[in-house]
Amino acid sequence: MEKTLIILKPDAVQRRLLGKIIARFEEKGFQILGMKMTQISESLARKHYAPHEGKDFFEPLIRYTTSAPVVVMALKGKNAIEIVRKMMGATFGSKAEPGTIRGDYAVSNRFNLIHGSDSPASAEKEIGIFFKKEELFEYNLTDIQWVYDMSTGDII
């Protein structure tokens, strides 16, 4: 099981798309471990996007990220990082395939609605940036044995 950090960026809040996007992840079978609305501070945004420091879009990206409230979520599921990235679609809204979140709802190459961690290392770092321990919940979902085949002892 993997964990991943999602940010529903300021445009997702402003365009009232939170429910639709969150529903996709719930319907897919992911478990929400933590979720909150927050306005990201400049220092937090710089820390979160540190891998992009120095690139030409870094400063506009920091302004965008901090411009208005966001919703952050920690999700859990098998191969969650890769599956969420697929569901998000390509970075540029203009290039993202229909059927993906960005492909269906975004046309901008910057205002692309959603962030998802790109590796287990960045997921761990990012969840640590946005959530305190007590804001993350470990609980059983009653339908988990219908989301995965767990009858063999593995999660299939």
Q: Which residues define the annotated binding site for ATP?
A: 9, 57, 85, 91, 102, 112
Distance CA 105, CA 18 (A): 12
Minimum gap (Å) between residue 113 Cβ and ligand CDP: 9
The span from the CA of 15 to the CA of 116, in Å, is 19
* Binding-site annotation: residue ranges: 9, 57, 85, 91, 102, 112
> Would you call 115 a catalytic residue per the annotation?
yes
Q: Are 81 and 118 in contact (CB under 8 A)?
A: yes
Among 66, 67, 91, 122, binds ligand CDP (CB under 6 A): 91
Of 2, 18, 4, nearest in space to 113 by CA:
18
Instruction: State the nearest-atom distance from the C-beta of 100 to ligand CDP, in Å.
Output: 11
Q: Which does 44 bind (CB under 5 to 8 A by kind): Mg ion, ligand CDP, none?
A: none
Of residues 93, 117, 90, the one with CA closest to residue 17 = 93
Structure tokens at 82: 């890769």
One residue of 36, 39, 43, 57 binding ligand CDP per CB under 6 A: 57
Say how far apart CA 65 and CA 49 lie, in whole Å: 10
Angle of helix 80-88 relative to helix 18-28, nearest 10 degrees, comes to 140
Of 18, 110, 125, 129, the residue at the interface with ligand CDP (CB under 6 A) is 110
Q: Which of 64, 71, 72, 115 is catalytic?
A: 115
Binding-site member from 6, 112, 123, 130 for ligand CDP (CB under 6 A):
112
Residues labelled catalytic: 115
Q: Which residues bind ligand CDP (CB under 6 A)?
A: 52, 57, 60-61, 91, 109-110, 112, 115, 118
